[in-house]
C-alpha cells in the first residue's frame, strides 16, 4: 500500500465523520402529558383482569441477577438495557398487539423490534468497514409482518456508559441554548479558578456532543424520535420537521422519579417510560413512513455540521474535572415532584384493580368533574381516542365494510395530542401502483426498437412530455417506436434523480449482500423497472455485474433481465438514506424479472 493511501486510511480512522448538529436545543414541554395520555389509553383499552406478563418473583430474581453485574463499559450497558428494559418492552408490546382495541389505538402492527445488528450494507457492517468501531446503537422498528422482513424504523437509541456521561453532566448540560453559539463556537472558556463554571462548560460540551450524534442519525433516517441513555438516565428526543434545526429534549431519571411518585412508581420505571415513548412514536402519522428523502435533504441544507464527536470531547476533559464540585447544583436529580404522573383517564372512569395489584392507588375523579357527555368531549379534545359509543360505531362500520378502510380507522383512533400539526405523514412515491414494464418493452428501448403493445404502460410511453394529457397519435400502432433512445432515457433519469429521490422511487424492502431493490419509474414517460442500489464500498461489485450483463446482451429479456444502465449518485450530490447508516450512492437499472419461487409459494 502506498504512503499516501496509508495516510488516507489513518485520516479516515482518526477524523470523526462530521455530524449534522441542531442549532437550537429546547425542552420538550408536553412530554410528561403525552406520557400520561399513553398510559391512560392503555388503562382504558387493555383488559384489567388479563394475566399476560411474568410474575413478580421472576422479575425480582432477574433484577437481582442483573444488579450483580457492574456497568463498566458499553457492552455491560448493552447487556443491562437489553435484559432489563428492551426485552421487557418488546414482551409487553407482544401482548398489547393481541388486544384489538389497543392495536387500533396505537397501530401496533406486529409489534416492535430492537435491532442491534447493523444492516449488511451499513457503514458499520464488518465487510463494509472493519476498522471503524461502531457506536453502541439500537434501531427500533415497527414490524409489519410476523417474519419481521417488512418493517419501518421508529427511532434510534444511543448508549453512553454512566461513567462517561454522568447524570450531573446531563442535568447541567441540557438547557435551552443555541448549540453553535454557546458550545461549538464558544469564545470564552472558564478556568479552574471557577470550578462550577468549569464543570458546566464540560457538561454542555459532553451533552451536546452526545445528543448531536443521535440527532445526526435522526435527520438521516427522517425520524421524529430518538433517545440517548446511560442506564441511569434517559434523554428522550424529538424533531418537529417543520423546524428541523430545533431539537427537543426531556431528561428522565427513573429512580428519582419513582421515589418521588410512590403511588405511580411503576409508571416511572425505565421500562414503562420506554414503552410510553415507543407508543408515542407509533402514534405519529408517518410512523410507518419516515420523512422523505427530499425533505431530509432540504433539512440538511439548513444545518451546520460538527466534527468533534463524543469520545474526542471526553478525552479532552481532564480526569480531575469529570466530577462536579461539592457546590454544584448538578447533584440534585430531576424528579418532577410537582407533576401529576397518574394516567390521563376518562373523567369519572375508575380502573378495576386486580386483587394482587402491587400499588393500592385509586384513580379518583377530577374536582371539576361534570357530566359524562362533557367528559367524553374533553377526552376527545385532549387525547383523540374514541368514546365507548364511538368505538362501537366504528367497530360496526369496520365490520360492515369487510375490513376495508381499516387504515383510516386506526389513524383516527390514534391519540390526537400525540400527532404533529403538519408534515408528518411521509411521502408516497408517485410510481407505487404503476405496473412494471414488460421485458419486451425495455428490450425495445435498449435496442432502439418499437413499443410493446402488451406493455401496461404503453400510453405513458407515448405521452408527449410537453403535455401531460396529450398522446402521440401512433401510440396504438404495432410499429410505434419508443419516444426516446437509451441515452435520452439515462439523461432524463439522471436529471430526475437530481431533482427528487422520492417521486419515482419506492423501496421494496428486499436485498442481498451487495444491494437493495427499488421499484423505479422515469416519470416523464412512465418506464417502470427495478433498480439495485448499493453503498460506496460495493460499487465495484455492481460494475462487475453490469459488465456481465453486457456480455449477455443477446439473451437479455429472455433468460436474464434487461440491463438499462447505472447511475452514480455522488456526482449529483445525492444520497439515498435507505436504513440506519446505509447510504445508497449507486443504482443499477434492470427489468423486473418476477417473484422468486419461495415468495410465490408462500403466497399460495
Q: Which residues pair with 552 in a beta bridge?
A: none
Q: Secondary structure of the chain: what % helix, strand, coil (to 5)? A: 40, 15, 45
Query: Residue 95 pLDDT more than 60?
Result: yes
Mean pLDDT of the chain: 80
Per-residue confidence (pLDDT) for residue 273, from 0 to 100: 98
- The residues, any chain, with a CB within 8 Å of residue 114's CB and separated by 6 or more, are 82, 86, 87, 89, 90, 138, 139, 140, 157
- Find all residues with CB under 8 Å of 82, minimum gap 6, and list them: 114, 116
Give the single-character DSSP code of 329. G
CB 104 within 8 A of CB 521: no
Give me the residue spans of the domains in the chain. Answer: 17-48+58-331, 372-416, 439-603
SS3 532: strand
Per cent of the chain over pLDDT 90 is: 55
Identify the pLDDT of residue 31. Answer: 98
* pLDDT confidence of residue 456: 95
**d(C-alpha 219, C-alpha 519), whole Å:** 24
Rounded CA separation 356/27 (Å):
38
CATH of domain 439-603: 3.30.200.20
Percent of the chain with pLDDT over 70: 74
Residue 266 and residue 275 in contact, taking contact as beta carbons nearer than 8 Å: no
Q: Binning pLDDT at 50, 70 and 90, where does residue 392 land? A: very low
Query: Is the pLDDT score of 133 beyond 80?
Result: no
Residue 477: its pLDDT value, please? 55
- Give the integer Cα–Cα distance in Å for 567 and 498: 11
- What sign does the dihedral 469-472-476-479 (CA atoms) show? negative
3-class DSSP state for residue 264?
A: helix
Write down the pLDDT at residue 561: 95
Q: In sequence order, which residues have a C-beta less than 8 Å from that of residue 524 and are 6 or more positions away? A: 465, 492, 496
Q: How confident is the model at residue 599 (pLDDT cuts 50, 70, 90)?
A: low
- Does the model's pTM come out above 0.85? no
Tally the C-alpha atoms within 13 A of residue 267's C-alpha that lie toward its C-beta: 25
Amino acid at each position: 500500500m502506498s504512503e499516501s493511501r496509508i495516510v488516507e486510511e489513518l485520516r479516515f480512522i482518526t477524523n470523526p465523520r462530521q455530524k449534522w448538529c441542531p442549532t437550537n436545543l429546547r425542552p420538550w414541554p408536553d412530554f410528561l402529558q403525552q406520557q400520561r395520555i399513553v398510559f391512560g389509553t392503555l388503562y382504558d383499552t387493555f383488559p384489567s383482569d388479563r394475566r399476560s406478563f411474568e410474575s413478580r418473583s421472576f422479575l425480582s430474581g432477574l433484577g437481582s441477577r442483573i444488579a450483580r453485574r457492574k456497568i463498566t463499559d458499553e457492552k455491560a450497558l448493552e447487556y443491562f438495557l437489553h435484559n432489563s428494559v428492551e426485552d421487557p418492552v418488546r414482551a409487553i408490546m407482544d401482548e398489547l398487539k393481541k388486544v384489538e382495541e389497543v392495536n387500533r389505538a396505537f397501530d401496533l402492527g406486529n409489534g416492535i423490534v430492537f435491532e442491534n445488528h447493523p444492516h449488511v450494507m451499513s457503514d458499520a457492517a464488518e465487510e463494509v468497514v472493519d476498522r471503524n468501531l461502531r457506536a453502541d446503537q439500537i434501531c427500533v422498528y415497527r414490524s409489519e409482518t410476523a417474519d419481521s422482513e417488512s418493517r419501518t424504523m421508529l427511532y434510534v437509541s444511543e448508549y453512553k456508559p454512566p461513567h462517561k456521561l454522568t447524570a450531573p453532566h446531563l442535568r447541567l448540560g441540557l438547557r435551552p441554548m443555541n448549540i453553535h453559539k454557546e458550545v461549538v463556537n464558544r469564545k470564552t472558556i472558564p478556568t479552574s479558578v471557577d470550578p462550577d463554571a468549569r464543570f458546566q462548560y464540560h457538561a454542555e460540551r459532553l451533552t451536546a456532543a452526545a445528543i448531536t450524534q443521535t440527532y445526526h442519525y435522526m435527520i438521516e433516517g427522517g425520524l421524529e424520535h430518538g433517545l440517548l441513555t446511560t442506564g441511569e438516565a434517559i434523554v428522550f428526543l424529538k424533531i418537529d420537521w417543520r423546524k428541523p434545526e430545533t431539537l427537543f429534549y426531556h431528561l428522565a431519571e427513573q429512580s428519582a422519579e419513582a421515589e418521588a411518585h410512590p403511588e405511580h412508581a411503576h409508571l416511572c420505571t425505565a421500562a414503562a417510560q420506554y414503552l410510553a415513548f415507543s407508543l408515542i412514536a407509533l402514534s405519529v402519522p408517518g410512523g410507518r413512513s419516515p420523512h422523505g428523502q427530499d425533505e431530509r435533504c432540504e433539512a440538511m441544507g439548513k444545518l451546520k455540521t460538527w466534527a468533534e464527536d463524543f469520545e474526542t470531547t471526553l478525552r479532552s476533559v481532564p480526569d480531575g474535572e469529570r466530577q462536579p464540585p461539592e457546590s454544584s447544583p448538578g447533584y440534585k436529580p430531576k424528579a418532577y415532584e410537582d407533576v401529576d404522573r397518574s394516567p390521563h383517564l376518562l373523567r369519572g372512569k375508575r380502573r378495576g384493580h386486580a386483587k394482587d395489584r402491587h400499588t393500592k392507588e385509586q384513580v379518583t375523579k377530577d374536582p371539576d368533574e361534570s357530566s359524562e357527555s362533557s367528559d367524553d368531549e374533553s377526552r376527545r379534545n385532549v387525547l383523540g381516542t374514541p368514546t365507548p359509543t364511538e368505538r362501537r360505531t366504528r367497530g360496526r362500520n369496520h365490520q360492515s365494510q369487510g375490513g376495508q378502510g381499516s387504515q383510516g380507522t386506526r389513524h383516527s383512533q390514534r391519540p390526537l395530542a400525540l400527532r404533529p400539526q403538519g408534515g408528518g405523514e411521509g411521502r408516497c412515491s408517485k410510481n407505487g401502483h404503476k405496473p412494471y414494464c414488460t421485458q419486451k418493452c425495455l428490450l425495445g428501448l435498449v435496442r432502439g426498437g418499437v413499443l410493446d403493445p402488451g406493455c401496461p404502460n404503453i400510453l405513458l410511453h407515448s405521452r408527449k412530455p410537453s403535455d401531460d394529457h396529450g398522446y402521440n397519435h401512433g401510440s396504438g400502432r404495432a410499429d410505434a417506436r419508443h419516444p426516446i433512445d437509451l441515452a435520452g432515457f439515462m439523461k432524463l433519469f439522471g436529471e430526475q434523480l437530481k431533482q427528487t429521490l422520492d417521486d419515482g422511487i419506492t423501496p421494496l424492502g428486499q436485498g442481498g449482500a451487495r444491494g437493495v431493490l427499488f421499484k423505479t419509474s422515469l416519470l416523464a414517460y412512465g418506464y417502470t423497472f427495478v433498480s439495485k442500489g448499493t453503498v460506496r464500498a460495493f460499487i465495484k461489485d455492481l460494475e462487475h455485474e453490469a459488465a456481465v450483463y453486457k456480455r449477455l446482451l443477446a439473451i437479455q429479456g429472455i433468460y436474464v433481465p434487461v440491463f438499462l444502465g447505472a447511475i452514480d449518485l455522488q456526482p449529483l450530490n445525492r444520497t439515498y438514506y435507505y436504513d440506519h447508516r446505509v447510504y445508497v450512492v449507486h443504482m443499477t437499472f434492470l427489468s423486473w424479472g418476477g417473484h422468486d419461487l419461495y415468495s410465490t409459494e408462500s403466497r399460495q
